[in-house]
Amino acid sequence: MGLLNVAVTGLNAAQVGVLTTSHNIANASTEGYNRQRIIQTTNTPMFTGAGYLGQGTNVLTVRRIYDQQLNEQVLAASTGAAEMDSYLAQIGQIDNLLADPSAGLTPALSAFFKGVQEMAANPSSIPARQGMLSASQALVARFQSLDQRMNEIRSGVNAMVTSEVAAINSYAQQIAAINQRIIMAQAAGPNQPPNDLLDQRDQLVADLNTKIRATTIIQNDGTYSVFIGNGQPLVIGNLPYSLKAVAAPDDIERIVVALSSPNGGTIYMPESMLSGGSLGGLIAFRSQSLDEAQNALGRIALTLAQNFNAQHRLGQDLDGDLGGDYFDMSQMMPMVGVNTNNAGSGTIAVAFDAATFDQLESSDYRLTYANGSYTLLRLSDNVATPITAVPQVVDGLSIDISGWSPVSGDNILIQPTRGGASELQLAIGNARDIAAAAPIRTETPLANTGTGSISAGIALDTTNPNLWTTTTLNFVAGGYQINGAGPVIPYTPGANIDLNGWRVVVSGTPAVGDSFTIERNSSGVSDNRNAVQLGALQTKNTMEGGTATYLSAYSSIVSRIGNKAREVEITGQAQQSLLEQAQSTRAQLSGVNLDEEAANLLRFQQAYQAAAKVIGIAGTLFDEILALGR
């Protein structure tokens, strides 16, 4: 019987080997499958006078060929590649939108200033004025359409964030369920790994990492605990936690990710904690590119409107009235979002500071109260500014905290330029209201005998009540007097003379007795001095702290978005290459090689046949023994 038993053990081992090899072959194309092999050992030998006699073999276990480190490398590369793919798909929309040679802002801005210049060339022409209004309406429409498209992209991101959160929750539930199955499987066979269940769980973790970067820790019972962010649990044993896609507490148009706490509450997760995977790519795109692009576009609209209005108010329209606002800025105010979780009451007042308007940043801000101090954080670069005055001017914003009664930890979101492009409107609709002329003019009497000359003059402050008061500069020995009376003012050739809300420049050498008159520009329908100043805004550095024009500021947006898109594309290609390399390395170890499995199948078949032959021989020997007893 010893020989038969040994043969049977060999037969059983070969059968398990054939079965395992067949399983490998059948799952060669199964995603996430790790090849398996039997671990075979000898049975305990029997001692005899002739020494230890072998008792055959047995299969200790079926082991999957798996390397945790290689798998983690694949997961890291996979989540990075998915993040870049998601980011690139979104930023490409903005890149194409802003850089479009016909649908971008550049052609509309150029056409607008061309209309201003054509009107300046013929300020009394109603058709020329109407052409300027038409170009202005087209510019407003272009700002609004670009902003609307960005809002559509933002809404799309919100919808995709919601979808990704649902997918993450589904994976968490599946991982928790398979953890439970693994516990039960291991209870049925202690120390025997349920290989196929482990593969399925690893594949679920891999799929989860394409949505968000997740880390796993194996527990003593063989289950995985899965964590995201800075250690927030997603799965603990057979218990899945749930994420929620909810509106931000300080911005209802922004869908953010939150954890559902065990007591039913909501724990908002900072966007900086949500990295990797397609969800991380969406959130990074929104915070790093979409917000900045929309804010920057709004800043251009705000600055253009403010500059143009300020200059337009210094002019005079076709009916001789002072110019008013050309653009309606009443709705272009900073957005203030009070956090709904604040325990305090009231809010702050935020307005644009006209004196430092060129210092506006394309950034959102968060004002926080903690331990008796107010701190304004610029979110684009995390620069913090203490708020100690009421009001206090920061980056072109006047911030008044006097109406806010916060509790420590309360915060308020400030979006200064987010609505700038969408809320831009024209303030005038009548071509006659365009203030092309200057409200004052100068005259030089024919009786003057010196070589002095006076400029046409410009307005500095049309709110000055003496703007239209006729004023004479009378030159006397040592200088000039105002209206022939008062102190003698020293004369400096070419220097500005500012008075009554206007400015003139006298050059040359006026003779004693010479005079110049500054008076209201009545009937100045052909005057284009203010129109020329309006047109000059096109090339004036009124942005970026006085270092950029409107067009160069827009070009900077296009360049930054284009460079970021290229950076994401290159990074994505690198991550994809790393992923392919990591997958190839893992496949060399854990993948199914059909040639190798075919050889194994032949080897186990031969072992099976050989064991069967031994059984046959044992049977023959047994029959011989029986025959001897007859």
Q: Tell me the backbone φ, ψ of residue 582, rounded to 5 degrees.
A: -65, -40
pLDDT in tens, 368-377: 999 999 999 9
pLDDT at position 630, please? 67
pLDDT at position 244, please? 94
| Dihedral sign for Cα atoms in the order 174, 179, 181, 182 | positive
pLDDT in tens, 300-321: 999 999 999 999 999 999 999 9
DSSP state of 417: S
Q: Which residues of the chain have pLDDT under 50?
A: 1
CA 155 to chain CA centroid, nearest Å: 13
Residue 369: partners with Cβ closer than 8 Å, 6 or more residues away: 344, 404, 406, 407, 408, 409, 410, 411
pLDDT at position 545, please? 86
> CA-CA distance, 491 to 508, in Å (whole number)?
10
Distances (CA, A) of 383 to 125, 348, 365, 379: 51, 20, 10, 7
> CA-CA distance, 19 to 25, in Å (whole number)?
10
Are 274 and 229 in contact by the 8 Å Cβ rule? The answer is yes
